[in-house]
Amino acid sequence: DAGVIQSPRHEVTEMGQEVTLRCKPISGHDYLFWYRQTMMRGLELLIYFNNNVPIDDSGMPEDRFSAKMPNASFSTLKIQPSEPRDSAVYFCASSLGLFGGYTFGSGTRLTVV
Partner 1 sequence: KQEVTQIPAALSVPEGENLVLNCSFTDSAIYNLQWFRQDPGKGLTSLLLIQSSQREQTSGRLNASLDKSSGRSTLYIAASQPGDSATYLCAVYTGNQFYFGTGTSLTVIP
| Chain residues that interact with partner 1, rule: CB under 8 A | 4, 42-45, 56, 58-59, 91, 93, 99, 101-107
Q: Nearer Cβ to partner 1, position 51 or 80?
A: 51
In angstroms, the Cα distances linking 98 to 18, 77, 87 are 30, 20, 28
**Sequence-distant (≥ 6) Cβ neighbours of residue 1 within 8 angstroms:** 26, 27
Least distance (Å) between residue 101 CB and partner 1: 6
The four Cα atoms 87, 8, 96, 34 give a dihedral, to 10 degrees, of 20
Q: How far is the CB of 53 from partner 1 (least distance, A)?
A: 15
- Provide, rounded to whole angstroms, the least separation between the CB of residue 99 and partner 1: 6
Cβ nearer to partner 1, comparing 54 with 81: 54
